[in-house]
């Protein structure tokens, strides 16, 4: 097969004209593996798939990509711990059925105060 991109005689590689992650099902077999991989690279297919407009449509249409998962932009944005500026105290937001959970580590005392927070505030007041 003559690759339509590099014009070399090579074995064909199935190329989704529109990425499968965007619902594409039309496949051509006129591209070699190397060119197919280059098309799937960050600046072409991957860039298109990861564009905010594409992600929004993938969520709305529940389109799973090659990994078999539908994007979860809110979950991705909140799924890591957030440094609070207070040493050893982190806040984590996570998805939970019906909403989100806020977790403070270490957990707050029984009276609702966060370990380290009031001590630091007290120290800062003491310094000034």
Query: Which residues bind to Zn ion, rule: CB under 5 A?
Result: 3, 5-6, 32, 35
CB 4, min distance to Zn ion, A:
8
Task: State the burial class of residue 88 (Cβ atoms within 10 Å of its Cβ: 0-12, 13-18, 19+).
Answer: exposed
Q: Is 30 or 80 the residue whose CB approaches Zn ion more closely?
A: 30
Within a 13 Å sphere around the CA of 38, how many CA atoms are in the beta-carbon half? 8
CB 103, min distance to Zn ion, A:
50
Q: Is 7 or 95 the residue whose CB approaches Zn ion more closely?
A: 7
CB 18, min distance to Zn ion, A:
19
């Amino acid at each position: 097969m003559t690759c339509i991109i590099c014009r070399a005689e090579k074995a064909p590689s199935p190329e989704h004209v529109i990425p499968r992650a965007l619902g594409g099902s039309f496949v051509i077999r006129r591209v070699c593996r190397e060119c197919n991989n280059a098309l799937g690279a960050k600046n072409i297919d991957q860039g298109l798939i990861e564009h905010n407009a594409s992600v929004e449509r993938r969520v709305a249409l529940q389109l799973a990509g090659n990994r078999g998962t539908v994007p979860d932009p809110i979950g991705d944005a909140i799924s890591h711990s957030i440094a609070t500026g207070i040493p050893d105290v982190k806040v984590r937001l996570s998805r939970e059925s019906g909403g989100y959970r806020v977790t403070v580590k270490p957990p707050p005392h029984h009276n609702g105060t966060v370990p380290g927070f009031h001590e630091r505030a007290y120290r800062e007041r003491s310094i000034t």
